[in-house]
Amino acid sequence: MRVLTVRLPEIIERKVRLKAKLEHRSVSEQINKYIHDAIICEENSDLPFSFIKETLQAKAEIEAGLGREYPFGIIK
């Protein structure tokens, strides 16, 4: 991993610090998450961010063993 210094406007820095605190992340981890999200959004510009976010969450749940198969065609 390389170290990169980035200058942010003060208002953005304060927002990043607040969001990092609320999400229990370091500032570096929060910036990394924002960059990761931005790259995914650019690569999938035809999809809403909420859909991308929910899809990634569902994928993580499956990988963690929390998913279950949906029984198609069964109405209860």
The reply to whether 2 falls in a domain is no
- Which residue, chain included where needed, has tokens 């929060």? 30
Contact 44, 52 (CB under 8 A): yes
Q: Which domain holds residue 32?
A: 10-63
Q: What pLDDT does residue 9 have?
A: 96
- Residues with Cβ within 8 Å of 33's Cβ and at least 6 positions away in sequence, in order, are 23, 25
Q: Is the pTM of this model over 0.85?
A: no
Query: pLDDT truncated to tens, each residue of the chain (76 aa)?
Result: 788 898 999 999 999 999 999 999 999 999 999 999 999 999 999 999 999 999 999 999 999 999 887 888 777 6
The reply to whether 68 falls in a domain is no
The reply to whether 54 falls in a domain is yes
The reply to whether 32 falls in a domain is yes
Number of domains in the chain: 1
- Residues with Cβ within 8 Å of 6's Cβ and at least 6 positions away in sequence, in order, are 31
- Residues with Cβ within 8 Å of 53's Cβ and at least 6 positions away in sequence, in order, are 37
Distance CA 31, CA 16 (A): 7
Q: What pLDDT does residue 76 have?
A: 67
Q: What pLDDT does residue 10 have?
A: 96
The reply to whether 19 falls in a domain is yes
The reply to whether 76 falls in a domain is no
